[in-house]
Structure 1
Amino acid sequence: MLNFLKKKIALTWAKKHVQKAEEFKQNPQKKQEELLLSLVETAKKTLYGREHDFENIHSVKDFQERVPVSDYEDMKPYIERVKKGQANILWTDTPEYFAKTSGTTSGSKYIPISKEGMPYQIAGAQSALFHYIARKNNADFVAGKMIFLQGSPELEEIYGIKTGRLSGIVAHHIPNYLQKNRLPSWETNIMEDWEAKLDKIVEETEKENMSLISGIPPWLIMYFEKLTEKHGKKIKQIFPNLQLIVTGGVNYEPYRDKMEDLLGGKVDIIQTFPASEGFFAFQDDYTKEGLLLLTNHGIFYEFIPLEEYGKTNARRLTLQEIELNKDYALILTTNSGLWGYSIGDVVRFIDKNPHRILVSGRTKHFTSAFGEHVIAFEAEEAIKATLEKYPAQITEFHLAPQVNPHTGLPYHEWFIEFEKEPQNTETFQNELDEQLRKRNTYYDDLISGNILQPLHISRLKKNAFHEYAKSQGKLGGQNKTPRLANDRKIADLLELYKL
């Protein structure tokens, strides 16, 4: 009877929510401009607002003339002051939280989340579930157990500002009506050793009536593999009432085949687009591609055509100006004090009514098939440090993920053309892995958690990169093979040049 009531209530709430949500899809361009001017008005007396003449911003054009596109390095001097407890710097108060993320050239990043911004992080995930319930007319999963594979909810404090990974922060805001059904336990969630934590999660969940599981694809796969290894069954045999998987953080498509094989039966998937800077979009139509862009969640969006990104006079387009099926760098202004902020993601609109997007890449070459966001600087510094310790000479290299190896865990594959070979390739390989782990905390987590195995070096023949470029019609000083990729398009061609 209790479960029946829970499902009935969930269906009622969901349908009312979806009906109300239709309002933000009406004239979103006008509402976006109103939102921007409201944010500017709120922050006009902050340090950033005074320095950028917020008093005289009365339109999107005014804003774009006064506020430059920025990245974390540009915002860092302001954030460092906020980290020292200073208020009225980027926003009217100090943040409620810092979401600590893997850094770029300056180490870890501290993304502010204000008391106004935090509710939208929760509302985004909640809205994704409500849309699912309403569209499917099915709330059966609320009667079962729900597991959230996430980082530790234990938070540190920086001058009174609670700090941790976003998933750990969100754990403190799970609605009360879900808390009793939620797994794993707090004691398990705070475990830092991921492998031991996963064993404990398996132990706590394997006999439960699991109905919803949430997490990034690599973590889900590792959890499912441990369960199938222990029980010798597919996941749907172990959890026959598993109805829904909610995932985000990385592109789901490379994992789809592996997930379907492990599941061994029909399970609905909701893809989402959350980040420390905000909850941007979720899948609201399960018959086609695309994520619904949340234009009423405290974020003003701008879009720079990818081919113009980084140029002095790059256009900053609004929702009214975008075109379908073009790639845009995503620029944010948020109610947590980020102004004209380039998050580094690239999106492509596939619909305007309502606005639906695909996350099509990153603004720079990168490797992040497992959520690690390894950038060129980190890879180049890692190989430089390795060469200093174990002398060799390298002509060129290319780093690509191996998501589906024939045996064992996934790994990073480094295709290296040596001009002078190291004395011991295995020692060199181990050192390179260690140096990369020092420079990227997420990669280190994946290795220490046995989600990835240490990197592999594939040695290439002399002139391999020259011959590859020639074969692609890209031989010349202006054409350089990308050193990092998030797929194996280049890697599969470099296979032809292996020793």
Structure 2
Amino acid sequence: MSLKTFGAKIFASVIHSKTQKWATNPVETQQKVFRELLEKAKGTQFGKDHGFNGIQSYDDFAAKVPVRDYEALRPYVDRVVKGEEDILWPGKPLYFAKTSGTTSGAKYIPLTKESMPFHIQAARNAILSYIHETGKADFVDGKMIFLQGSPELTEKNGVKLGRLSGIVAHYVPAYLQKNRMPSWETNTINDWETKVDAIVAETVNEDMAVISGIPSWVQMYFEKLQQRQGKPVGDIFKNFNLFIYGGVNYEPYRAKFENLIGRRVDSIELFPASEGFFAYQDSQTEKGMLLLLNSGIFYEFIKADEFFTENPRRYTIGQVELGVNYVLIISTNAGLWAYNIGDTVAFTSLAPYRVVVTGRIKHYISAFGEHVIGKEVESALNEAMQGTNITVNEFTVAPQITPATGLPYHEWFIEFGEEPENLETFALFLDNAMRKQNVYYDDLIAGNVLRTIVITKVTKNGFQDYMKSIGKLGGQNKLPRLSNDRKIADFFS
């Protein structure tokens, strides 16, 4: 056993003990976070506007601070982006994490000196938790690769700006620098296909032990490795035994991954977002991810089936139930207050509190991390039809993750009233409109991760036939504008 491996096991034991202290006292832990957040922010503009000085209990908070999404919080965020201080959180943020927006393009999520360390610690602790549970730590002597966005940052009114994964790249601890790949130069390549080619060239002869990234991106890396070497990834990297992922559901990729690797490897699921690092998989045998209750985030939960009713009840830790689909609401030490991030979760355990991500409160596509929402596809279609005689009776969109040939793509199933003269030309117009709607989608097209939109024509009344087949024809039933699987798509295949 190397000194580094021995040290990792000792460190893992220490972190496990610290984790147990708060995990076994969840309600008290969250109350402490709640009080600290309010105390810290009572002098901010948001704190003054919402009477933080007069809040004595959680019920006071729920009465004074309504649940908001980004658009509702935007008047405050815009002031922060313009350079004003003490608006949502004391001072100015360290960074803005640029993410995909809803109705207004890009979002700018603040990261503060208080919140940033928790993003780093959570990723580290996920690995240490794995070491403590399994006793496996030899991988710390091998190479580790983190497929992520460019670490190059820009600046906006004195605050550094970039993608979260690129920001995090600046915080890789010194003891991992020698093991970490790819090189900084390769990491700054913007075109994804070019970047993956460079990563393959850098890593193919290395002892890769840990590989981390969004499954769709890692899949491209694995395929290029296999094409180059003519053998499974597991034979190229004999000591590769741990895959760390987040951002999208791994299950649709699992069978493909095991075929590419040639064997099964352990995996750790993470639940990070620009707004906070919420959970990580702490057990290889128990379902779900440990909800991080001691990370500067106060959690609330609203039952998904009640979310769109008037004044739905807000629950805190200690009040939630197993198996219920909840919308996740957060207040954070980056200045987000009763903030709806759009994700839904369900608890798989209450001792400790573990969750699985069940989806988004609204229909979406995020098979590749793009987080495309209904309004974006509707706006793109409307733009593409402007100035034409084209009419659309109904449509839905689904990802095609494993096409027979070529890159993956978004497939649009459209029942036209009046068809375009050239379907491929119309598809390109539609694709360009989508790229303007969603910055992540634009990145995926520009980086050659996805090919442009493919349109499949649906025959007249085809969608009616589908709704009838599932017993939802008529009434208040609506066809989802988009879905993250191919259940609807398969009906038309």
Q: CA deviation at 1:365?
A: 0.8
Q: What does the per-residue CA deviation read over 1:172-209, in whole Å, with 9 as the maximum and x for residues that have no partner?
A: 11111001111111111111111111111111111111
Larger mean CA deviation between 428-437 and 172-181 belongs to 428-437
Larger mean CA deviation between 58-67 and 389-398 belongs to 389-398
Q: What does the per-residue CA deviation read over 1:21-74, in whole Å, with 9 as the maximum and x for residues that have no partner?
A: 100112211221221121111111110000000011111111000000000011
- Residue 392, structure 1, aligned to residue 390, structure 2: yes
1:329 aligned partner = 327
1:224 aligned partner = 222
Q: CA deviation at 1:473?
A: 2.2
Say if 1:378 and 1:440, in contact at 8 Å, map to a contact too: yes
Say if 1:209 and 1:239, in contact at 8 Å, map to a contact too: yes
Partner of 1:100, secondary structure, is strand
Partner of 2:209, secondary structure, is strand
Say if 1:149 and 1:215, in contact at 8 Å, map to a contact too: yes
1:162 aligned partner = 160
Partner of 1:104, secondary structure, is coil
Q: What does the per-residue CA deviation read over 1:426-452, in whole Å, with 9 as the maximum and x for residues that have no partner?
A: 111121112111211111221222222
1:415 to 388, 413, 421: 413
Spell out the pairing of 1:440-459 with structure 2 (5 A cutoff). Answer: 440-459=438-457
Say if 1:82 and 1:89, in contact at 8 Å, map to a contact too: yes
Which blocks of at least 5 consecutive residues in structure 2 are unaligned? none
- Residue 480, structure 1, aligned to residue 473, structure 2: no
Q: What does the per-residue CA deviation read over 1:311-368, in whole Å, with 9 as the maximum and x for residues that have no partner?
A: 2210100111111101000000001100000000000001100001110010111111
1:341 to 339, 351, 364: 339
Larger mean CA deviation between 335-344 and 472-481 belongs to 472-481
Partner of 2:399, secondary structure, is strand
2:127 aligned partner = 129
1:250 aligned partner = 248
- Residue 471, structure 1, aligned to residue 472, structure 2: no
Q: CA deviation at 1:162?
A: 1.0
1:64 aligned partner = 62
Larger mean CA deviation between 142-151 and 310-319 belongs to 310-319
Rounded Cα–Cα distance in structure 2 between residues aligned with 1:178 and 1:113: 23
Which blocks of at least 5 consecutive residues in structure 1 are unaligned? none
Rounded Cα–Cα distance in structure 2 between residues aligned with 1:306 and 1:296: 25
Say if 2:4 and 2:140, in contact at 8 Å, map to a contact too: yes
**Aligned residue identity for 1:102:** S
Say if 2:145 and 2:208, in contact at 8 Å, map to a contact too: yes
Partner of 2:252, secondary structure, is helix
1:79 aligned partner = 77
Rounded Cα–Cα distance in structure 2 between residues aligned with 1:486 and 1:266: 25
Rounded Cα–Cα distance in structure 2 between residues aligned with 1:170 and 1:310: 35
Say if 1:144 and 1:211, in contact at 8 Å, map to a contact too: yes
Partner of 1:272, secondary structure, is strand
Q: What does the per-residue CA deviation read over 1:133-163, in whole Å, with 9 as the maximum and x for residues that have no partner?
A: 1111121111011111110101111122111
Q: CA deviation at 1:100?
A: 0.6
1:4 aligned partner = 2
Partner of 2:206, secondary structure, is coil
Q: CA deviation at 1:478?
A: 1.4
Say if 1:325 and 1:350, in contact at 8 Å, map to a contact too: yes
Q: CA deviation at 1:477?
A: 4.2
Say if 1:413 and 1:456, in contact at 8 Å, map to a contact too: yes
Spell out the pairing of 1:195-344 with structure 2 (5 A cutoff). Answer: 195-344=193-342
Say if 2:349 and 2:355, in contact at 8 Å, map to a contact too: yes
Q: CA deviation at 1:376?
A: 1.0
Larger mean CA deviation between 302-311 and 468-477 belongs to 468-477
Partner of 1:103, secondary structure, is coil
Corresponding pairs, count? 493
Rounded Cα–Cα distance in structure 2 between residues aligned with 1:289 and 1:474: 33
Larger mean CA deviation between 378-387 and 403-412 belongs to 403-412
**Aligned residue identity for 1:125:** A
**Aligned residue identity for 1:55:** N
Q: CA deviation at 1:390?
A: 4.3
> Does the C-alpha gap of structure 1 residues 389 and 202 become closer, same or farther in structure 2, counting only changes over 3 Å?
farther
**Aligned residue identity for 1:198:** V
Rounded Cα–Cα distance in structure 2 between residues aligned with 1:42 and 1:320: 24
Say if 1:329 and 1:344, in contact at 8 Å, map to a contact too: yes
Partner of 2:101, secondary structure, is strand
2:21 aligned partner = 23
Identity of aligned residues (%): 55
1:406 to 404, 407, 410: 404
Q: What does the per-residue CA deviation read over 1:451-490, in whole Å, with 9 as the maximum and x for residues that have no partner?
A: 2222211111111112222222222241111111111122
Say if 2:191 and 2:448, in contact at 8 Å, map to a contact too: no
**Aligned residue identity for 2:182:** P
Say if 1:132 and 1:284, in contact at 8 Å, map to a contact too: yes
Q: CA deviation at 1:20?
A: 1.8
Q: Give the TM-score of the pair, scaled to structure 2.
A: 0.98
1:43 to 41, 44, 60: 41
Say if 1:345 and 1:363, in contact at 8 Å, map to a contact too: yes
Say if 1:146 and 1:213, in contact at 8 Å, map to a contact too: yes
Rounded Cα–Cα distance in structure 2 between residues aligned with 1:494 and 1:197: 36
**Aligned residue identity for 1:171:** A
Rounded Cα–Cα distance in structure 2 between residues aligned with 1:289 and 1:262: 25
> Does the C-alpha gap of structure 1 residues 149 and 247 become closer, same or farther in structure 2, counting only changes over 3 Å?
same
C-alpha RMSD of matched pairs (Å)? 1.1
1:185 aligned partner = 183
Say if 1:401 and 1:412, in contact at 8 Å, map to a contact too: yes
Q: CA deviation at 1:389?
A: 4.8
Rounded Cα–Cα distance in structure 1 between residues aligned with 2:264 and 2:346: 29
1:366 aligned partner = 364
Rounded Cα–Cα distance in structure 1 between residues aligned with 2:449 and 2:94: 32
Rounded Cα–Cα distance in structure 2 between residues aligned with 1:39 and 1:60: 12
Rounded Cα–Cα distance in structure 1 between residues aligned with 2:304 and 2:443: 31
Say if 2:190 and 2:447, in contact at 8 Å, map to a contact too: no
Q: What does the per-residue CA deviation read over 1:270-307, in whole Å, with 9 as the maximum and x for residues that have no partner?
A: 11100001111111111132111111111000000001
Say if 1:37 and 1:58, in contact at 8 Å, map to a contact too: no
